[in-house]
Amino acid sequence: MAEISSTLPDGPTIKGRLSQDDIIMRFGMVMIAVYLVATMVLPMWTMLSKSFSTYHFDLAGYELQVSDDDGAFDGTILTPAALNTELGVVEPDDLTAGSDSRMGLTQFFPDFSFRSPVMYRVRNTSDTGRFLVGSELKTGTDWLELDSNTFRRVQMRPVKSTGLGNFVNYFSTPALFNSIKNSLFIAVISTVITVSLAFWFAYGLNRSCMRYKGFFRLVAMAPILVPSLLPGIALVYLFGNQGMLKELLFGASIYGPIGIVIGSVFFTFPHAFIIISTALAISDARLYEAAVSLRSTPWRTFWTVTIPGARYGLISAAFVVFNLVITDFGLPKVIGGQFNVLAVDIYKQVIGQQNFEMGAVVSVVLVVPAILAFAIDRMVQSKQVALLSARSVPYQPAPNRKTDNIFLVYSIAVATFILGILVICQYAALIKFWPYDLSFSLRNYEFDRMDGGGWGSYFNSIQLAFLTAIIGTCVIFFGAYLVEKSNGFKTGRALFQMFAMLPMAIPGMVLGLAYIFFFNNPDNPLNFVYGTMAILVICTVTHFYTVSHLTAVTALKQMDREFESVAASLKQPTLKLFRRVTVPVCMPAILDISIYLFVNAMTTVSAVVFLYSPTTTLASIAVLNMDDAGDIAPAAAMGMMIFYTNAGARIIHLILTRKLLGRTQAWRAR
């Protein structure tokens, strides 16, 4: 055999011609990538650039002339800057402004009177200068002559510059940057408590032979079905100023870190539980048999076998909980009192003070720990996958009366905590007026008499949940199919995967604020969706994109890689394969995605709080607003409505899944 060189020869490389399917797939992928760019990348970019935009009044940017009483000008040119050095009416600090700030000119003329016959001339000194006459924007360097009464309505507009000014401002304001410490503090404390509680709960369910496991599993999942602020309301009833168990706090206030931590433990518990439970379920029984045969003590076995086996699960759970707590808005808003945290700061800056730039700065600050936690969690999870594929014999616990009973008691305690919160809310919703009139009434359900949008909010939420579930599932599953199963186009696919992972790292508040910046800009052709149900659907789909995408990808990865090749060799369109094989086989995952989106659309507060309009108020926001207005009982009532709706949706989902599996997946049964 002749020696063959092992470098490619020169000459043309074969470029494959695209089939019609390839073109359709690529087109689809580009469409979904464009969707992700428009609904995530660009808004986030806009927000980031906002955080670096500073505004200030440039007093040297204007020139003025003042006439005598007869309206004759002598040609003397004044500038506000010069007048200010003379008079000192404006402090230099007051010159920093927001994008919407304006400042009148009359203050530089102490003897100004709008009735005087004096005339004024104003102009910008540069082409970039701007001022308002009434609501009319004036640019350009031509002199504008105005009478006193009109001059009264002249206002300077700030000029924009790019820099770290906002951040400098942020970090020199203790009231603001203290929130970083606060946020980290409650996130760490809540993480430690939740992960410990969830670990022993999961341990009991996986490793003991205690009874009622199914019931406890169900209870552990309940907090997912309610908005994160609901435990806050229950805590107010329990430990608030007129709380039933107020004495238990020995004078400490529930409004603050204590309340936030307890509530956070409640709403993050199911997330930690699922992750740890999965980690415990996949551990290898043979390790335990080895430990027993080596006469290791149970305590030693626990530390040398159980904990190392579950460590990825524990780490992953910790970061997920940390992320949930630090980015949560609803709960600290309800129960945080004077204890400021980052997510609420964003809300206060934007809604309270209309300081959008500072809102953007806080958002950037909040994104940092969130992205870090997210990145570490992804790294850990990829290791966990490797562990999973190498799994072997599942562990079968042996009955042990003593430990089984200990775990039963422990589980009852946890279940009491979870159910207690829900029961309190339901009780609060049904009584007339805590604590003075404890008779039952349905008055708190007359939402139309309260702020927050009334029953309309509830139906809006249902509409949002359905639209999100349907549109989101279609977009996300099809997108996942395209990246997973199309060939070639490597960089495009890698980029798409990255886009799909991003939303998980972006806190809801940040996404919502980014949407304001991006969609509320009149120059944006997409501006028309602002204030509609559409933007709420888009925002919610994007907010919960990642988990759904991962679910879809996992299901698709289990399909034979060669289905598409077979279809191509049989000259059948890929979309036919998608419809006839991929979708039916992945139906369980598709249903999982839709229920996930539905439930989250019902409970989400953070992203949509910036985006709802008077016609698109939502139930979860209504809870927040009613609570804010002091209507706590109706807030609890609405919160429980969300709970029942989600529970109902879950049951329907379960029935539907069973039915579909029975009908379309007969092939699974042997």
- Interface residues with other proteins (CB under 8 A) are 1, 4, 6-9, 11-22, 487, 560, 562-563, 565-572, 576, 580-581, 584-585, 664-668, 670
Nearer residue to other proteins within complex by CB, 383 or 659:
659
Closest by Cα among 115, 206, 197 to 404: 206
Q: How far apart are CA 450 and CA 624, in angstroms?
A: 12
- Give the nearest distance from C-beta 28 to other proteins in angstroms: 17
- Give the nearest distance from C-beta 485 to other proteins in angstroms: 13
Joined together, the tokens standing for residue 358 give 């500072």
- Give the nearest distance from C-beta 584 to other proteins in angstroms: 5
* H or E element in which residue 166 lies: helix 165-171
Rg (CA), the chain: 31
Closest by Cα among 622, 620, 624 to 646: 620
> At 390, is the secondary structure helix, strand, or coil?
coil
Sheet holding 53-56, edge to edge: 96-97, 53-56, 159-162
Q: How far apart are CA 226 and CA 454, in angstroms?
A: 18
- Give the nearest distance from C-beta 452 to other proteins in angstroms: 47
- Give the nearest distance from C-beta 582 to other proteins in angstroms: 9
- Give the nearest distance from C-beta 14 to other proteins in angstroms: 5
- Give the nearest distance from C-beta 22 to other proteins in angstroms: 6
Closest by Cα among 56, 66, 60, 59 to 122: 66
**Contact between 429 and 444 (Cβ < 8 Å):** yes
Nearer residue to other proteins within complex by CB, 209 or 581:
581
> At 134, is the secondary structure helix, strand, or coil?
coil
- Give the nearest distance from C-beta 588 to other proteins in angstroms: 12
Nearer residue to other proteins within complex by CB, 328 or 564:
564
Nearer residue to other proteins within complex by CB, 113 or 664:
664
Q: How far apart are CA 619 and CA 609, in angstroms?
A: 11
Nearer residue to other proteins within complex by CB, 466 or 563:
563
Nearer residue to other proteins within complex by CB, 386 or 570:
570
Nearer residue to other proteins within complex by CB, 396 or 569:
569
* Beta bridge partners of residue 131, listed in sequence order: 138, 156
* H or E element in which residue 527 lies: none
Q: How far apart are CA 157 and CA 90, in angstroms?
A: 15
Q: How far apart are CA 114 and CA 136, in angstroms?
A: 19
> At 103, is the secondary structure helix, strand, or coil?
strand
Nearer residue to other proteins within complex by CB, 125 or 665:
665
Residue with tokens 């029961």: 423
Residue 131 phi, psi dihedral angles, 5° rounding? -145, 165
- Give the nearest distance from C-beta 33 to other proteins in angstroms: 22
Nearer residue to other proteins within complex by CB, 338 or 389:
389
- Give the nearest distance from C-beta 615 to other proteins in angstroms: 43
> At 347, is the secondary structure helix, strand, or coil?
helix
Under 8 Å CB-to-CB from 177, ≥6 apart: which residues?
Answer: 170, 171
- Give the nearest distance from C-beta 449 to other proteins in angstroms: 53
Pairing of strands 103-104, 131-133: unpaired
Q: What DSSP character marks residue 73?
A: B
Q: How far apart are CA 602 and CA 600, in angstroms?
A: 5
**Contact between 623 and 638 (Cβ < 8 Å):** yes
Q: How far apart are CA 426 and CA 420, in angstroms?
A: 10
> At 436, is the secondary structure helix, strand, or coil?
coil
- Give the nearest distance from C-beta 566 to other proteins in angstroms: 5
Nearer residue to other proteins within complex by CB, 11 or 251:
11
- Give the nearest distance from C-beta 17 to other proteins in angstroms: 5
Nearer residue to other proteins within complex by CB, 133 or 575:
575
Nearer residue to other proteins within complex by CB, 286 or 663:
663
Nearer residue to other proteins within complex by CB, 36 or 555:
555
Instruction: Count how many residues are written for the chain.
Output: 670
The CA-CA-CA angle for residues 196, 202, 207, to 5°, reads 120
